[in-house]
Amino acid sequence: MLTKDLCVTVAAGKDEDRWRSKNEGALFKRWKRTTSSVETTPAAPAPTTPSSQPSDLLKFLAINALELSAPASDALLKSRSSEWFQLSGHPGSLAPAGPGTVWKRRAAGDHPAHNPERDAYEALAACPHMRSAIPRFYRELEYGGEHFIELQDLLHGFRDPHVMDIKMGTRTFLEDEVSNARARSDLYEKMVRLDPNAPTEAEHVARAVTKLRYMQFREQCSSSAEQGFRIEAVKLPGQPPLTDLQKVKEPKQLTAAVARFFGNDERARRAIATRLREIRSLFEKSDFFRTHEIVGSSIFIIYDDERVGAWLIDFAKTRRVPNEIKVTHREPWQQGNHEEGFLYGLDRLINTIETARLSEAMTEPDVSR
């Protein structure tokens, strides 16, 4: 696995080009590694995990293929006969480690002595309330001069599953990212390319907007600002992934997209709703979440004919809030209050799943295509 950075093992094909459509050639690059890197630094043995592997159809989970030198050994890669791809997230952030695990690269810009994602996983792994709600955390390590954390691959063991990656929160940027009040022409140009009518009259005259204005505009382009969650990517068995889901914004559209995801599988829909209610209850009991803002994290949902699962992933933007600040994770965000709307979004996601019905979804236009 992993989600917003999501990684998956898939069976290698005979011909790389057959995975590519005319418009996908730039996105589906084969993941490669250098022989010298393997010879100089063999990988440590990976933790023991079940031996079952996902089916060939998971090859389509690739949105951005990895371009990262492999930490895995020749023998290990040959025995797995696999390729690794991300469902979403920053290209090159993940690499295979062993059966059932991935290495995730440290976020760019982190201070050398500070790794917020590692700290979050270590704290949550030690928390009796939350350890079952996150991928298993194994270790932090250095390879080729770069730092990684090794995590459980959540897709390992599933066969041809349904997969959905959901970005949580009404705010998916850190407060210090928007602290500079200087208006920028490059952000104005980006805004106009996305929506020529978005800038105000004053912004058109100045031909510049602040980083805060631009980031809030981006949140409003999706369902994040109003609903507290947005569907980042979906994969259905036997179909290519759905990745451009910006138009899935209104409540009826979200409900229809969720209903199509579950189809007529009431078992999976009820089980996922129950699992998300459990995660919400654990979240509310956790001391960690009482003292941290959870920015840019995702809920990763997966099910096949036999198993269902949902996990909280991605903590690169998780930060401890000042001691005098109490966050509810539901209140609206104002500069300085560190609210990010995680639980606000989770409440609405659970309600959406509980009320989604395929019969009703078929009357709603499919804007995800």
Mean pLDDT of the 132-150 span: 88
Question: What tokens appear for 263 in the block?
Answer: 């189809």
Is the pLDDT at 79 greater than 60? The verdict is no
Round the average pLDDT of the chain to a whole number and report it: 76
Residue range 264-279, pLDDT digits in tens: 999 999 999 999 999 9
DSSP class of residue 128 equals T
Distance CA 12, CA 96 (A): 14
Enumerate residues 6+ apart whose C-beta is below 8 A from 143.
41, 71, 103
CA 264, 350, 368 angle in degrees (round to 5)? 60
What count of other Cβ atoms lies within 10 Å of the Cβ of residue 51?
Answer: 9
pLDDT higher than threshold 70 for residue 28 = no
For residues 241 and 308, what is the distance between their CA atoms, to the nearest angstrom?
19
pLDDT at residue 185, rounded to an integer? 95
CA–CA separation, 308 and 301 (whole Å) = 8
* Position with higher pLDDT, 336 vs 363: 336
Nearest to 85 by CA among 150, 144, 19: 19
Extract the tokens encoding 75. Answer: 């023998």
The two tokens of residue 234 are 């979906």
Q: What is the pLDDT at residue 191?
A: 94
Q: Encode pLDDT of 144-170 as tens digits.
A: 888 888 999 888 889 889 999 999 999
- Non-local CB neighbours of 170 within 8 Å, separated by 6+ positions: 219, 224, 225, 228, 332, 333, 340, 341, 344, 345
Average pLDDT over residues 337-349: 97
Poorest-pLDDT segment among 82-86, 121-125, 134-138: 82-86
Residue 83 backbone dihedrals phi, psi, to 5 degrees: -125, 155
The answer on pLDDT for 23 being more than 90 is no
Q: Is the pLDDT of residue 19 over 50?
A: no
Tell whether the model's pLDDT for residue 311 goes beyond 80. Answer: yes
Name the pTM for this structure: 0.74
Question: 3-class SS at 148?
Answer: strand
Comparison of pLDDT for 211 and 115, the residue scoring more: 211
- pLDDT given at position 113: 67
Confidence check: pLDDT of 104 > 70: yes
Comparing 35 with 184, which gets the higher pLDDT?
Answer: 184
Distance CA 290, CA 268 (A): 31
